[in-house]
Structure 1
Amino acid sequence: MNPPARKLLGKPGALEADEERSSFETTARSDAAGLPGATPESGRAGEENEMTPPAPPPPEAGDPLGKQLVKRALFPKRAQPVQLGRFTVLKLLGQGGMGVVYACYDDQLDRKVAVKVLHREVVREQETARKRLLREAQAMARLSHPNIVAVHEVGQEGGTVYVAMEFVRGLSLDAWAHEPRSWKEVLSVYLQAGRGLAAAHKAGLVHRDFKPQNAMISDEGQVKVLDFGLARLSDEDLREEDLAGARGGSEDATPLLMRPLTRMGVILGTPAYMSPEQHLGERATAESDQFSFCVSLYQSLYGRLPFSTESFAAMRDDVVHGRVAPAPSGSPVPSRVFKALRRGMMAAPRDRFVAMTELLAALERDPGAAYRRVAALAATAVVAGVAGMAATAGDAATPQCPDAGPELAGVWDDGRAAEVRASVQKKAPGRAAELVAAIEPKLARYAATWVQLRNDACRAHAEGRQTPHMFDLRTSCLDQRRAALAATVDAFALADATNLDDMVQTVAGLPPLDTCANVEALMATLPPPGEALMRARVQQHRETLARAEVHEHTAHPRLGLQLVESVLADAEAMTYEPLLAEANLRKGSLQIRDGAPTAALQSFDDALWTAIGVGHEVVAAVTSSRRGFLLAYQLKRPEQARTELRLMSALNRKIEQDVDNYSEFLNNVGAIHAIAGDWAEAREKWEEAVRLREQHGRHETPLGIGTLFNLGAHHVNTGRHEEAVPIFHQVIDRSERVSGPNHPDGAMYEVMLAHALTSLGRPREALARMQALQTRVDRGESKVARMTALVGLARAELALDDSGSALRHFVAAQAASPASFSSAGRSWIMVAAAAAGEVPTMEKARDEALAAINENTDVRGTTYQDILLRHGRALAALGRHREALEPLEQARSALVGSENPTHVWQRGRLSLELGRLRGRLAEHEAAETELRTAVAAFEAVLPPHNLELADALLALGEFALERQRPDEAAQWLSRAESIYVTTAEPDYAPLMQARAALARVR
């Protein structure tokens, strides 16, 4: 199973340890694993409903639960279980005026879905209702957006139309808002819903019935807009040819989305949230959705509707005339938010925002942030002037700047700290104290340093020690850091128990503040736009990109991408090309985290050439570095990445003083060399990156630890296990200081150390560490950490020939986290089962492991090679020697001709196994050739004290002894013994075997 690649909190640059030479076999904790909010379930009947349905209509008399109505509404004469196409109905989720929603199981794709069908008895106009359902399906199927529920399939069963949709586990926004929420949390959630509506409008669709009940927030914090049943194509999306077809053809020939659903004058929608034009029976537009969105957000922020609720007539009159109730007195919601909502609820559509995106930008915009620097600049200028006057008058008073502490009010203060503690306590009560201890002090220190730097900047300017331009650069940098801090604290509201550990590392990896005091670095930045409003606009967008970077590190890349798209949508701001380059760099980094490497390459290309064109040195350097890693690692094109190393080096040489970005470049270049098989170059770059971080105190950060881990893994991958052991000890120590003792990455580091120890012939020491690790992770909540520990334990037991225990622990590892247990993990089950004589288990694991090999598998890659190697070993353990030759020969044939040292090493392994098998088959000449080939391969690429070389020497010595060549046998066996004794435990089995053979020679 593939070992976890260190993703370095979203920045490419980490390299996974090689398959066979890594002691742990687990997949990476992916921050972009799956769509947030989409929760496929097992689909077993009787599961608890995890989707909050709309309120059902009153049940019929004598049927308090409404079950008979539901059964008749679906298929009145059919017995359970009911099928809708290929979907098995599990249970009712809810009913509305038009349809019934069921939880169903899709057996083909093994997932749970929500299926909407029509009421058959409560809907009078069957044809109209059917068209509405098809209209909803067509509308939603046109959209692919993280904030819009996905449609999987539309079908008919016995005359009943149904739509299968993404199953969302969570709450509708009206239910969610019933709990006490801060205004920032409410606004953040509605902004997601607004982005879903904006995406629909961009696709030419109007929802026409947005309200809190028609949006859900998943357990992962992702908002999904539902029920496009009243949607239709906007007028702007009706092309002339479509309109001509609609006019000239029959209604049945006209696409459903382009047919008028009702005649003009018929009211559709929910009255409390309807726009004036809908109340008047006029056509609904995107501006109507904007109105409904503002009503919904107003209600959730202030706890009441913005219009009269005394009667329908009074409410309608308020709506039609645009009479919006003022915000409640004492409300903490800023007046800017109320002003934006009031504009969005203007009676005339033309008086509202031009587009949903403009409304969202107004809701997100904090004018105070844009003008705080200007105010501070003016204040310090006044102070400086007063100081000059005082000096002239002989006054020795020292000018003072106001303390910047209040600028963090609502960002990080006592109230926010209490919110974070409460959030962690609620989501992970068993680990709350540990997590808070790892989080709160770091946030407090960051905030205190920020205030100090802000005060220092003000005083330096007031005292004439820095220019207004430098003051503006410093405060601009600090404003972006404050945005990152605010987004990090806000992210705790979206975090759950499974990614609180991500939050720990995000806090530890907040962008460095000292950059904002580095005059040389600040002066190297490009000048901001000359026009004041454009300058403020660019600054606002940069703060948005800082918030997007936080989502990159907290397993919410889709949310980050939405923020980036909101920046890119500002065409006027994009004329300032440095900002355009920054946005595309952030977009590409987020796309990598979201599992879209091809799209990321395009974004990086756009960022790179824009940055080079305008001389944006930092963006050009960082983009080239990440782009190179993307090519080599995710896109499997290391040779192309190597051809671009000169460009990467030239661009990054200009930012050598930028410790974080330059060390990331060194890390990524090391990865490129390692993937290409340039072992010495990879080691040199990683060692340089580690030294650079240590020299500047940036080694105890997630990125610093990740680079050190890469160096240790590289030593493992090149057979230098003695050098790897102290490095992994350092990694473990630093990780505990940064992330706490029970972070899931700690299990990965421990298992890597155990593998290095086992490879040095110290399996008992490795076993003791794994037993201690298992005890520790069993008390935690991470399934992946538990799986990792069990795999490490099983590997140590297998090295000690305790195959029965190893098999039990491999199987337990698979059960602990089935989704993370890969085909390579199953190949280890195959080996352990064969050693334990469990043939059926071995064959089942073999079939599952081999199923991973297909036409797209890289035959020189670790997955292919190691599965076949372990298959051969398993067959040999069962005594099926002739049969074992085939997979080993198959694996080796793929490596013929390659001089890549990794491939040479693997050929040596395969030759060693083949030599042993040929000897057991009495094919003596072939056996000796294979064993000598193995020794030559190991000597070519491995250090002289590597135990695999000793294993090959031992095999050759035993072969020579059997062939009655004692002098030759003594030479081979003596060399093997001398290697074993350098690092192995005294009772290490191969060492005992070598000494026994030498005794026979003597």
Structure 2
Amino acid sequence: MEGDEVTAGASESDAEHTPASVRGDSDTVPRAMESLRNADDPLDKQLVKRALFPRRTTPVQIGRFQILGLIGRGGMGVVYAAYDDLLDRKVAVKVLLGEAVRDLTLSRVRLMREAQAMARLSHANIVTVHEVGQDTGQVFVAMEFVRGVTLDAWAEQDRPWREVVATFVRAGRGLEAAHRAGLIHRDFKPANVMVGDDGTVKVLDFGLARAADDGPPVASDLPRHITQGDSHLAPLTRTGVVLGTPAYMSPEAHRGEPSTAASDQFSFCVSLYQCLYKQSPFDTTSLATLLADVRRGKVAPPPAGTPVPARLYRAIRRGLALAPGDRFPSMTALLAALERDPGAAYRRAAALALTAAVTAFAGWMAAGSHESQMQPCPDAQAELAGVWDAGRAATVRQALGTIGTPAAEAALATVMPRIDRYAASWVEMRNEACVAHAEARQSTPLFDLRTACLAQRRAGLDALVAALLQADAGSVDDVVQATAELPPLDRCADAQALTADVPPPEDPRLRLRVQAHREALARAGVREDAGQYQLGRALVEDVLADSSSLVYEPLRAEALLRAGSLAMEAGDHATAERAYDDALLAGLGTGHAAVAAVASSKQIYLRAVPLNQLPRARTEVPLATALNQRVRHDVDLYSEFLNNRGVVHAMAGELKIARQHWEEAVALREQHGRGETPKGLETLANLGWLARAEGRDEDMAAIYARTIAISEPLLGPHHAAHIRYEYLLADSHWRLGRPRQALARLARLEQRFDRLGNDYVRAMILHELGIIEIDEGDLAAARTHLDRALAAAPAASELHDAVLSERVRLYAAEGDAPATAREYQRALARLPATPDPGDRRYQFLLLNHARALDALGRTAEALAPLEQLHAILAAGERALDAAEMLALLGAMRHKLGILDEAEDNLQAALAELERVAPPRSPILAGTLLAAAELALTRGHFADAAGFAAQALAIYDAIAEPDHLPAARARFAHAQALTAAGSAPANARALADAALETFRGKARAADVARVVAWQAAHAPAASRP
């Protein structure tokens, strides 16, 4: 039934079998006449007439049931007490109130469905249906008569919270049985539960139940949505508008979506909250305020001073989660959480242990070596019921399996075992903490700190599982990473760290509320790691809205810090800046060293990178350093600070200092077993970026090989971060002169990459393939890959511009001058009218334009953009890149016959590279090769031989044997040796090796040069 009604029960005495309104009291007639005028139902009219004319009427009947009196009325029907003369028992009969519904036929169908649904159930906590039938066109249901009161009336009395919870658990068992039978109640509320005089608890009124396997409802069966125009209605119970009672309805029911078992769970938790705390969890001032709270998932914190344990609020709060997937997986799991009382179990066990100790002391003394068989601590595994148990694991497995992508399949292989291990470790640590306390090896305050820490870890695990259940193809990577970022449990066993923290509030009630909020912040942290920023921010907003709890200032500091971190990750940098400022001040003011340290650490990163306020970030580094020295014992916090400080120095061009901090962070994490974590990977990847920037390509390759070895088991082979590291390793191979290795790795990545994943990463892979293929002369493959990269790269991204720039070089390599010009103009048009010289897109375009002009035979025109780029790089103190451009200018001037300037360029480049480049730099090798070829042209054969030998030594050490520049170095060395009149046999071998490479790479012009040289320098005896 709809509305606030009493069904199948009676709270008044039925000694006369009639309610007061139809008994022969002195004022019965006036009241009865009024009732007769207002009666809607034929049975009502008969009852009133019997009161007016008792001797002239016969007993009112429906079917074979004699009506005794009215019990209650609702929006769709009326319930009467009745007598079953066949079986000699009192029953409750429910009949349809025809005039009160808009669709009589549909409502009759619903009533019949109620009877059928309830008849399918046989459970001690569900009212029994005896019979269903029709009488004079009216459907009726005869059901068990329960003498007692409704649950809301029962709870209005001052009852202990344990009794309220126990009663609700019994009601929940009824819902649990219904759900197992495939039925959804759809209107659970205290008024639809009877508490019998004998203590029985019965769930009533499945008038809104729908079989779970009925399929989608038809349009006529869907509830009409409540609009803001209904906001004046109070109390918040309406009939004939929606299927259910608004104050108890789930968010999805308010949206008009089909109700599920999770919807019943929501209604159950609203009811339990209301009866425990004597208030609604939502603002019921009006329908508008109710809907606003429900749709935001804004649940009121427990009232101050409540004796109800925080664990119950946590369970209710989860049942009231905005998303159905965030609630308990079933009523079974919810009821397990409500029944779990670790304190009671401990007290019982301790009492038993004490009794056993007293009565058996003499026996134990005699036995000497006998150990106690008592278990003073219950197994903590029960505390993970509904958080991580077999049922929830199966749900996660099914959710990930449904996604059906390679990344999701890989996630199953990595995520499930990791959560199993984490949960097992949690249980072990929770059990150990209890035993240590029970054996007096650990004080009560320390035990409380440990259990509070573990409760926060459990909340985070719970939120992670919920995030996994909400994952889709686009967010699998985020939730996998969040799994790898679960906070370590060992801190909950670190007595020194726990006692060093800010102590919890002394007021026990406030302590409970603070603990509940800290668990909410733990959930928000997991949501952040999972990329679900809005859900995380909503949790933090609830904490910050509880002014009664924020009197404990450290909680406010912690909430502000999490708010800032979530805002920064969500791209709301202005909000993040304000939150970090407030968190820093709050942390300093309360002596919360960890909050102050982390806020300052994140603040310098925010200013240096997203906000581009590098000078300000640099001025704040000393303060951040001082604050983080105070938390140096916390490996994760201090390592994150070292990483962020390194970022500031790197952005300032102070690469050596950045490297020092990053290497310290990596070493610190590895020393404490925290290297193989996502944060550890990020710092290691920063070192790889730095090696690339400094031209240390061998170091770059080694670092990214290491990140791959860590990231594959940690994140899975299809995770975007792992694929990015593989891409960067391929890039390092290409830079080292190993194009075959690079192409093979990139091709494997392209084939493996999940097409429902990250388009940006895919475009990076395709772009890199195109670059290498142009260098290798495979222009058809390069065109294919660059075309696909352009389609995949986001239109507004720098990568999109980089692909356009590379296509300029591709058209030139194909000899298509008009297409080269068009593509150059297209790329140039995406830049500002006056490009910023520091814009990397502009710099790449200058380089590729110069190389394209050279490839088209317009080398003289190529000098201008190349000189412009060299000036930009030199001014920006990018010495390595500037030297590389200077060497390229020397090579182009050599081609143009401008030999003196070419030699000046190359000598200057070599001098700079000897200063800034590693000994086996491929850039140095290329510059030595250019110098050798110039020396050959100028007839300086000894110099040429020396330069070529040095270049060849580097290539032999780092590059593939058939690398084209290495082949050129071999041929140049052969020419120099022969011209100098030394080592002709060695020269021939070098030339032969070069010729083999040129033929294998289809370099016809190079093949012709070597063949001509061999013919000219063959021994006399062998000449034709």
Q: Under a length normalisation based on structure 1, what TM-score does the superposition of the two structures give?
A: 0.65
Aligned CA distance change for structure 1 residues 352 and 563 (closer, same or farther; 3 Å): closer
Task: Give the unaligned 5+ runs of structure 2.
Answer: 1-178, 189-223, 303-308, 316-336, 365-371, 980-1024
Find the residue that maps to 1:401 and give its secondary structure: coil
Q: Distance in 1 between matches of 2:863 and 2:613?
A: 32
Q: Corresponding residue for 2:894?
A: 919
Please point out which of 734, 752, 759 is paired with 1:776. 752
Aligned partner letter, 1:875: L
Aligned CA distance change for structure 1 residues 875 and 336 (closer, same or farther; 3 Å): farther
Match status 1:336 vs 2:243: no
Shift of 1:361: 4.3
Q: Corresponding residue for 1:473?
A: 449
Aligned CA distance change for structure 1 residues 921 and 483 (closer, same or farther; 3 Å): same
Aligned partner letter, 1:998: H
Shift of 1:750: 1.4
Match status 1:853 vs 2:790: no
Q: Distance in 2 between matches of 1:865 and 1:347?
A: 61
Q: Corresponding residue for 1:51?
A: none
Q: Distance in 1 between matches of 2:579 and 2:806?
A: 39
Q: Corresponding residue for 2:155?
A: none
Please point out which of 975, 981, 989 is paired with 2:950. 975
Please point out which of 348, 359, 368 is paired with 2:311. 368
Shift of 1:758: 1.6
Shift of 1:825: 2.8
Contact 2:283 2:290 in 1 (8 A): no
Contact 1:344 1:359 in 2 (8 A): no
Match status 1:530 vs 2:506: yes
Shift of 1:353: 8.0
Contact 1:291 1:345 in 2 (8 A): no
Shift of 1:293: 6.9
Task: Give the unaligned 5+ runs of structure 1.
Answer: 1-177, 188-226, 232-267, 281-287, 307-326
Aligned partner letter, 1:276: A
Please point out which of 605, 618, 625 is paired with 2:594. 618
Contact 1:954 1:976 in 2 (8 A): yes
Aligned CA distance change for structure 1 residues 399 and 345 (closer, same or farther; 3 Å): closer
Find the residue that maps to 2:433 and give its secondary structure: helix
Find the residue that maps to 1:573 and give its secondary structure: coil
Shift of 1:480: 1.2
After alignment, is 747-756 or 428-437 more displaced? 428-437
Match status 1:275 vs 2:211: no
Find the residue that maps to 2:412 and give its secondary structure: helix
Q: Distance in 1 between matches of 2:655 and 2:252?
A: 60
Aligned CA distance change for structure 1 residues 499 and 843 (closer, same or farther; 3 Å): farther
Match status 1:519 vs 2:495: yes
After alignment, is 939-948 or 646-655 more displaced? 646-655
Aligned partner letter, 2:923: E
Match status 1:423 vs 2:359: no
Q: Distance in 2 between matches of 1:338 and 1:506?
A: 35
Q: Distance in 1 between matches of 2:921 and 2:717?
A: 32
Match status 1:435 vs 2:371: no
Q: Distance in 1 between matches of 2:568 and 2:817?
A: 42
Contact 1:508 1:701 in 2 (8 A): yes
Shift of 1:377: 5.6
Aligned CA distance change for structure 1 residues 305 and 663 (closer, same or farther; 3 Å): closer
Q: Distance in 2 between matches of 1:346 and 1:617?
A: 37
Please point out which of 896, 903, 928 is paired with 1:953. 928
Find the residue that maps to 2:609 and give its secondary structure: helix
The count of corresponding residues between Structure 1 and Structure 2 is 714
Please point out which of 643, 646, 651 is paired with 1:667. 643
Q: Corresponding residue for 1:322?
A: none
Aligned CA distance change for structure 1 residues 935 and 849 (closer, same or farther; 3 Å): farther
Q: Percent identity?
A: 40
Aligned CA distance change for structure 1 residues 362 and 755 (closer, same or farther; 3 Å): closer
Match status 1:543 vs 2:486: no
1:697-727: per-residue Cα shift (whole Å, max 9, x none)? 2222222222222222322221112222232
Q: Distance in 2 between matches of 1:330 and 1:767?
A: 55
Shift of 1:870: 2.3
Q: Residues 64-79 of structure 1: matches in 2 within 5 Å?
A: none
1:365-417: per-residue Cα shift (whole Å, max 9, x none)? 79425699996467656755765665566635355211122222221112211
Q: Distance in 1 between matches of 2:725 and 2:846?
A: 27
Contact 1:438 1:739 in 2 (8 A): yes
Please point out which of 751, 761, 772 is paired with 2:727. 751
Shift of 1:525: 0.7
Q: Distance in 2 between matches of 1:911 and 1:687?
A: 32
Contact 1:370 1:539 in 2 (8 A): no
Contact 2:296 2:538 in 1 (8 A): no
Q: Corresponding residue for 2:541?
A: 565
Q: Distance in 2 between matches of 1:987 and 1:717?
A: 26
Aligned partner letter, 2:774: L
Aligned CA distance change for structure 1 residues 349 and 596 (closer, same or farther; 3 Å): closer
1:644-696: per-residue Cα shift (whole Å, max 9, x none)? 33322222222222222222222222222222222222222222222222222
Match status 1:904 vs 2:841: no
RMSD between aligned alpha carbons?
4.1
Shift of 1:364: 7.9
Q: Distance in 1 between matches of 2:684 and 2:850?
A: 35
Shift of 1:943: 0.7
Contact 2:236 2:287 in 1 (8 A): no
Please point out which of 862, 873, 876 is paired with 2:840. 862
Aligned partner letter, 1:873: R
Aligned partner letter, 1:802: D
Aligned CA distance change for structure 1 residues 291 and 894 (closer, same or farther; 3 Å): farther
Q: Distance in 1 between matches of 2:341 and 2:764?
A: 54
Contact 1:383 1:462 in 2 (8 A): no
Q: Distance in 2 between matches of 1:914 and 1:581?
A: 57
Aligned CA distance change for structure 1 residues 436 and 368 (closer, same or farther; 3 Å): same
Find the residue that maps to 2:857 and give its secondary structure: coil
Q: Corresponding residue for 1:581?
A: 557
Find the residue that maps to 1:575 and give its secondary structure: coil
Match status 1:643 vs 2:619: yes
Shift of 1:629: 1.8
Q: Residues 252-291 of structure 1: matches in 2 within 5 Å?
A: 268-269=229-230, 275-276=233-234
Shift of 1:527: 0.8
Contact 1:344 1:352 in 2 (8 A): no
Q: Corresponding residue for 2:813?
A: 835
Please point out which of 852, 859, 864 is paired with 1:874. 852
1:111-155: per-residue Cα shift (whole Å, max 9, x none)? xxxxxxxxxxxxxxxxxxxxxxxxxxxxxxxxxxxxxxxxxxxxx
Aligned CA distance change for structure 1 residues 334 and 408 (closer, same or farther; 3 Å): farther
Aligned CA distance change for structure 1 residues 938 and 815 (closer, same or farther; 3 Å): same
Shift of 1:946: 0.3
Q: Under a length normalisation based on structure 2, what TM-score does the superposition of the two structures give?
A: 0.63
Find the residue that maps to 1:634 and give its secondary structure: coil
Find the residue that maps to 2:824 and give its secondary structure: helix
Aligned partner letter, 1:275: L
Q: Distance in 2 between matches of 1:444 and 1:523?
A: 29
Q: Distance in 1 between matches of 2:648 and 2:183?
A: 46
1:166-194: per-residue Cα shift (whole Å, max 9, x none)? xxxxxxxxxxxx9x9999x999xxxxxxx
Please point out which of 463, 487, 496 is paired with 2:472. 496
Match status 1:790 vs 2:776: no
Q: Residues 97-112 of structure 1: matches in 2 within 5 Å?
A: none
Shift of 1:877: 2.0
Q: Distance in 1 between matches of 2:656 and 2:964?
A: 32
* Structure with max Cα Rg: 2
Aligned partner letter, 2:695: G
Aligned CA distance change for structure 1 residues 870 and 390 (closer, same or farther; 3 Å): same
Please point out which of 856, 869, 885 is paired with 2:863. 885
Shift of 1:328: 7.4
Find the residue that maps to 2:550 and give its secondary structure: helix
Find the residue that maps to 1:574 and give its secondary structure: coil
Shift of 1:897: 4.1
Contact 1:915 1:931 in 2 (8 A): yes
Please point out which of 930, 942, 959 is paired with 2:917. 942
Q: Corresponding residue for 2:176?
A: none
Aligned CA distance change for structure 1 residues 662 and 996 (closer, same or farther; 3 Å): same
Shift of 1:861: 4.8
Poorly superposed stretches of 4+, deviation over 6 Å: 180-183, 227-231, 277-280, 300-306, 327-332, 344-348, 350-355, 363-366, 370-375
